[in-house]
Structures are given as C-alpha cells and as structure tokens.
Amino acid sequence: MAPFAMRVDRAAADPVTQVASYPMDPGAWQLGPHVDWIPETSEPLRFARYEGMPDGAMTVSPGIAVSRQARFSSGTIDFDIKPLAYDDTGIIFRRHGEDAGEMVYLRANPDCPAADDCIQYAPITHQRMQWDTYSNYQGQAPINPAGWNHVHLVVAGEKLTVTVNHAADPTLVVPRLQGTTTEGGIAFKGPAIYANLVIRPGPASALPDVHEGVPAADTVMTWLAATPSALPVDRPVGAADIPASRSWHAIAAEQTGLVNLSRNFNVRRLSVGWLKTTITAGTAMHRVLRIGWARQITVFLNGKAVFAGDNPYRPEDRRLSPNGRLEADNASVPIALRQGANDIVLAVGNTWLGADGHIKPTAYGWGAEARLEELRQ
C-alpha cells in the first residue's frame, strides 16, 4: 500500500503560524540523543525519494529523529508511518529536549486491529516515558503492521484525538494530556519509515466534545507526599523509614486517582516515593484497599506494614494484570480501620529490571492509586 500523500506548500519563516509540510532530508532532521528508554544507535538516518512522497521519506533505526525546525502547540499533525518492528514507533510533540513532551505511538502487532494495545498515548516528564501508568490511554487501532499507515492528530490545548488510516471515528481520545509542556518541537521514534509530515496550527478550543470521565467510586483523591528517599539496599522498606510528620506536603491526584511520581519528582537513583492519606472512621470497621502501583509497594496502616508487592515487567510470568501496567486492580488488601483517624502510607519503589538483567531506576512510569471499598462477603 502506498502512503497517503498530502501535499501543501512549505511554510515561510514561521511554521508555528501557518500550514507547513516538512521535507524528509538531512537538512531538516538530526539523530536525537540516547536516554534510558530510547536505544542507543550508531545507524544514521536514511533519506530517499519515492512515488507518492513528494517531500521524501526518512528511515529511523532504533532511536529518534528530531526536527531541526518544526514547532507545535495546538492544531493538527498528519504523517505517514511504516513500522519496521513491533515497538513503540511514533511521534513526540511539544518536545523539550529529552526531558519532556507528549508521545503517541503504534505497536505494530500482527494481531492488530483486535489487540487492545495497538496504539497508546504516554506523557514524557523528567526523561520518563510513562506508558505503564496510562493503560487507559491505549486501545485497538486499524493498523497495517507491515505497511503504510496514516496518522492524524488533533490537539486542542489539553485535549487530543488520534485517527488512524482515515477511520470514521477517532481511534484514540485523550481528554487531558498529562505532560508538562504546552509547546515544543517534533521528533519521530523508530524503527520505522516516515513521510508526508504536515502541521496545521489551530485554536486550543477545537475539541469541545472531548470530556473527562469521573473517578471510580471510593477513589482516594486526597494525598500528601514526602521527598523520595534512597531505596534500602539490604532490607525491605520498614515503618522506621516513614518520613517525619513535618516532611509531608499536598500532592495532586489526577482525575483517575493516579498520583504520578514520575511527573512530580526528578529522581535519578533507586528510590522510594512516599504517599499518605488519612481515613476517618466513625467506628471500627473492615474495608478493602484496592491499589495500583509501579513498580514496588509497601502499604502501612497506622505505622504497621499490612502489604508488600512487586509489579514487575520482567520476568514476563511475574507481571500483574494488565500485563505489568498500573491499575487499581493490581492488588486488593483487606484492612481493619480503627475508630477515628487512620493513616495509610504507601512506599512506592522505582526499581526496573532491564532487558540486560541490570537493576536501575525506571525510565517509565512511577506512581500509585487507591480505592477504599466495603468488604464484600
């Protein structure tokens, strides 16, 4: 299948304020630097001219290609992509160097479009690409895993829709972008071939019908956080590690209840993040604490550890549902609340086991969420 060619005149000096197509040639793109989630590569970007690609095509091996000129805030982005592997191949927009941006990518699974992870949105903050904490922003997509695909993004302020291969309805809807940037550059991640990049700036109010859902009942939305501490190397996290009372400060939960430690703390070492909430019970009662986390967690109730768990991505047979991602159903913990105030503290580790077998701080998501439910008989 040939790519879906889309030709408009190149922009003048300021591509932010008018429609622009960006040529796929060495003068317009450069190989981006390696970070933990972007493979290091010595393979250069390759450029070619083909029928149906008036501005050329660019092959990106594992790594990223960074536009030397393109800038984007709100509007539309169109491009064609031919994935070269089952990987996270796609676009990073509103990019601020390696540190921050918004990413939409395809997983060219031979089972697409039936697989529920063919397309995903993930924010990038502090060089962490947080695919594993946003499983609510992935889904099925009409992807041709071995051929060309057309991707159409509409970005309006904090809202995003993505349509793949001219589908009648958006393939992916993101009611609120979770990154920290509102404007920035453009990059493509390989391994894939890219062509026909067209950017049309537009208003930040172009998607009025995209709405956020409401959090699940009994979602814990009020949290305090303390500065992450070094992960103990020779023992489990214990009650003695809980920060002093003066160390805590308010931290915002997202609409789903997720507290995103990757966004709030720029940590480069193996660490424990700390979250606390207080539940006031009119009488002694039993409840179930449903928790989701990435990547390790210890739950303390009134200073006593009541649960410890791991949610690893490797080895594969130890992944918690859904497939090693953070969701509130990762674990259910029965707890006994006393009458009056009850402090629940979550100690959340950021340890990641790499494909090379080495332990390191995660380059992906780090955080937790919780719901407090009645105990069902």
- Residue 261: left (phi > 0), alpha (psi -120 to 50), or beta? alpha
Distance of CA 8 to the CA centre of its chain: 32
- Same structural domain for residues 98 and 182? yes
Quote the pLDDT of residue 377: 44
Quote the pLDDT of residue 375: 64
β-bridge partners, 101: 124
Find, among 158, 95, 153, the residue nearest to 124 by Cα: 95
- Same structural domain for residues 153 and 226? no
CATH of the domain at 175: 2.60.120.560
Quote the pLDDT of residue 1: 45
Domain membership of residue 310 (yes or no) is: yes
Domain membership of residue 114 (yes or no) is: yes
- Same structural domain for residues 192 and 228? no
- Same structural domain for residues 143 and 226? no
- Same structural domain for residues 148 and 192? yes
Name the residue range of residue 353's domain. Answer: 222-374
- Same structural domain for residues 87 and 197? yes
148's tokens: 């060309």
204's tokens: 């930040």
- Same structural domain for residues 26 and 114? yes
Rounded-to-integer distance, Cα 274 and Cα 347, Å? 5
Domain membership of residue 5 (yes or no) is: no
Amino acid at 222: T
Eight-state DSSP code of residue 88: -
Residue where one domain finishes, among candidates 145, 172, 201:
201
Quote the pLDDT of residue 211: 74
Amino acid at 172: L
10's tokens: 């190149």
Domain membership of residue 213 (yes or no) is: no
Residue where one domain finishes, among candidates 146, 170, 201:
201
- Residue 338: left (phi > 0), alpha (psi -120 to 50), or beta? beta
- Same structural domain for residues 141 and 26? yes
Tens-digit pLDDT profile for the chain (377 aa)?
445 433 333 433 344 457 999 999 999 999 999 999 998 888 999 999 988 788 999 999 999 999 999 999 999 999 999 999 999 999 999 999 999 999 999 999 888 888 999 999 999 999 999 999 999 999 999 999 999 999 999 999 999 999 999 999 999 999 999 999 999 999 999 999 999 999 999 987 777 677 777 888 899 999 999 999 999 989 999 999 999 999 999 999 999 999 999 999 999 999 999 999 999 999 999 999 999 999 999 999 999 999 999 999 999 999 999 999 999 899 999 999 999 999 999 999 999 999 999 999 999 999 999 999 986 64
- Same structural domain for residues 53 and 190? yes
Domain membership of residue 62 (yes or no) is: yes
- Same structural domain for residues 161 and 236? no
43's tokens: 């393979």
- Same structural domain for residues 165 and 296? no
SS3 318: helix
CATH of the domain at 303: 2.60.120.260
Domain membership of residue 234 (yes or no) is: yes
Q: What is the pTM of this model?
A: 0.92
Rounded-to-integer distance, Cα 349 and Cα 371, Å? 20
CB-based contact 275:356 (threshold 8 Å): no
Number of structural domains in the chain: 2
Domain membership of residue 106 (yes or no) is: yes
Quote the pLDDT of residue 215: 85
Quote the pLDDT of residue 51: 82
Domain membership of residue 215 (yes or no) is: no
- Same structural domain for residues 226 and 113? no
